[in-house]
C-alpha cells in the first residue's frame, strides 16, 4: 500500500484587459495508482502594485513555475503595465 501525493499546476489562464494570470493547482492523493482524492487551490497574479509615489512595482514571479514566468513575460507588455498602473491610480481609495 503506497500512498502518493502530487501537486501540479493543471490550469493557467490569462484573463481581462490587464492580463491577470490565474493559476489552479491540483493536489492529488493516490493509493497504489488509484486516485483517492483531488483538491484545488487558485491564485491570481497581477502585473504589479503601486508604491507610495504611484510608481508601478512589477510583480515578482521568481518563485513561480517556468511556464507562469514565460506567460507573464509574454503578456505583461509595457502597454499592459501602463494601462494597469493608470487603472490602479484612477481607482485609488
**Is the predicted pLDDT of residue 93 greater than 90, yes or no?**
no
- Is 0.75 topped by the overall pTM? yes
User: What's the grid cell of residue 19?
Assistant: 492580463
Helix, coil or strand: residue 62: coil
Mean pLDDT of 63-71: 97
Euclidean distance between CA atoms 50 and 24, whole angstroms: 26
Average pLDDT of the residues in 23-44: 97
Per DSSP bridges, beta strands 34-45 and 48-50 are: unpaired
Rounded Cα–Cα distance for residues 66 and 73 (Å): 11
Handedness of CA 32, 33, 36, 38 (dihedral sign): positive
Amino acid at each position: 500500500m503506497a500512498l502518493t501525493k502530487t501537486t501540479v499546476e493543471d490550469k493557467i489562464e490569462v484573463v481581462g484587459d490587464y492580463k491577470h494570470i490565474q493559476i489552479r493547482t491540483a493536489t492529488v492523493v493516490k493509493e497504489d495508482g488509484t486516485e483517492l482524492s483531488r483538491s484545488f487551490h487558485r491564485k491570481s497574479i497581477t502585473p504589479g502594485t503601486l508604491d507610495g509615489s504611484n510608481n508601478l512595482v512589477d510583480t515578482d514571479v521568481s518563485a513561480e513555475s517556468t511556464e507562469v514566468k514565460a506567460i507573464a513575460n509574454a503578456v505583461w507588455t509595457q502597454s499592459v503595465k501602463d494601462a494597469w498602473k493608470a487603472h490602479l491610480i484612477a481607482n485609488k481609495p
